[in-house]
Amino acid sequence: MSAWKQPGGTDRQGSFRESTVTSELGRTVRRRRGFHRRHPRWRLQQISFSRARGGASPSTDPDSITSSGARIRRVNIPSMGLASTIKQHAIEVGFDLAGIAPPSALQDLEFLPRWVRKGYGGEMHYLADPRRDDPRKVLSSVKSVICVGLIYNTPHPYSTNVQGCSAGERTSTAHHATTRDVRSRAWVSRYAWGIDYHHVMRRKLEQLRTTVEKLAAGVETRVYVDTGPIVERAFARLSGIGWMGKNTCLINELKGSWFFLGVILTNLELAPDLPAPDRCGSCTRCLEACPTGALVEPYVMDASRCIAYFNIELKDVIPEQFRTAIGSNVFGCDICQDVCPWNSRPLSGVSGPLYNDDPRDESSGAGSGQRRAATTSLPEFQPMQVEIKSHRPLSPRTTDREPAPHLPDTATFSLFNPPLESLAALTKEDFRRIFARSPIKRSKYRGWLRNLCVAMGNSRDLRLLPWLEAAAQHPDPVVREHAAWALRRLGAAG
């Protein structure tokens, strides 16, 4: 996941003043033929969709038909109704957000090479792929980019609301001696609790692609879910499904920022939507909350300092000066989204489409009180219940080359705020089996053990000493080095 800066210097609401108006529901809509009509965007889309469903069919430019009657690649279709049809179908297949962007995102895409040259990408060298500069290098005939979003947030508490899970926070067992469960806990990023989002998004995008390709002869498409040389967030911003926040995440006014992005490049010429205005205002909570200072300025992240970079992307030694700040995060980090006012705890546990026509509570406006942060009931994104089928007891004198402590109570646990000792009980075989369809597999087992060592060192839980002593004898030098660091930390704590 790349991090970027939204082009600066724009008036948050006035940057689109000449081409937009604001509806009674506070939504930005397109002026048409010079009239200042205040139809909400959802109504215009419903009208276009109804007309499209009522018999409108793709039309072909006479110039695009050869003398033999064969169609050539160029497709000319009533773009307004077609765009609405595609977005409506995106909602029908299960996406929560949908918009259309033009294939040119020059200002956004020009920033990426400069960002990479500054070293902000760390060891993520794939971000320097020159094809990221222009989608025409991926699909030469591209005319439009269909952008979709899928909510993955659940009603579970945020990491900043769970005791002992904030980065850098330490939990001493002495303070919890009288509680029922005194085990030290870890934090797995919210997006990784369930099934790998690539699988879920791709399945829905393929359904949408099938519909798009049936709209006319000669339609070409390419589908991407954070897997190819396409900067999804740049086009998603232009499609209007969200603005780029100061934490570099895309934020939707009605949904928050807990959503995955996917795109379909196509040679269909579709009417583009308008970019959403920046509504971060003067808020800097995400910058202030980042434990490692990865948000070097508004809209700019130095990913090489991000906790998620350290415990996912970085395959080698985590710089020692950042380990304490990592806290209990063993995979990813949610802090900059947890503290965002647009992600305040949900008033209701439902996810809904972009075209929701329910009146918005005035209190949810920028700079006001409680807002709705959309959640989903999709089972794929609920916290996984992990069952360990193979675990062995561990003592400080063990000669086992893969440390795995004995689980004291149960071999089943949830990935929401899981016990550290339960995660540490996973053998390499357990890890591969349990996380075969999980984003967590990206860290590899070696990285998993390394991350656990850091979290244990920050826990100040002396009961984890046996596991760390065994890990200090691990054949991998990276695991050994982090285990030795954690032992020193616990020794100082003791």
Whole-number Å distance between alpha carbons of 221 and 170: 50
First to last CA, the chain: 39
Whole-number Å distance between alpha carbons of 323 and 485: 9
424 close to 295: Cβ distance less than 8 angstroms:
no
Question: What one-letter code names the amino acid at 208?
Answer: L
DSSP, collapsed to helix, strand or coil, labels residue 129 as coil
245 close to 251: Cβ distance less than 8 angstroms:
yes
250 close to 244: Cβ distance less than 8 angstroms:
yes
Residue 168 Ramachandran class (φ > 0 left, ψ -120 to 50 alpha, else beta): left
Tokens of 305: 């300092």
Nearest Cα neighbor of 85 from 22, 146, 23, 38 is 146
CA angle 308, 154, 192 (to 5 degrees): 30
455 close to 328: Cβ distance less than 8 angstroms:
yes
Residue 226 bears catalytic tag: yes
Question: What one-letter code names the amino acid at 275?
Answer: P
Tokens of 27: 């939504």
CA torsion sign, 346 to 347 to 352 to 356?
negative
DSSP, collapsed to helix, strand or coil, labels residue 463 as helix
Which residues partner with 385 through β-bridges? 414
| Catalytic entry in 129, 133, 226, 400 | 226
Determine whether 82 is exposed, middle or buried from the number of CB atoms within 10 Å of its CB (0-12, 13-18, 19+).
Answer: buried
Residue 469 CB contacts under 8 Å (≥ 6 apart), including other chains = 396, 483, 487
Nearest Cα neighbor of 398 from 494, 474, 453 is 474
Whole-number Å distance between alpha carbons of 47 and 443: 47
Whole-number Å distance between alpha carbons of 203 and 84: 21
240 close to 274: Cβ distance less than 8 angstroms:
yes
Whole-number Å distance between alpha carbons of 254 and 353: 10
Q: Tell me which residues are annotated as active site.
A: 226
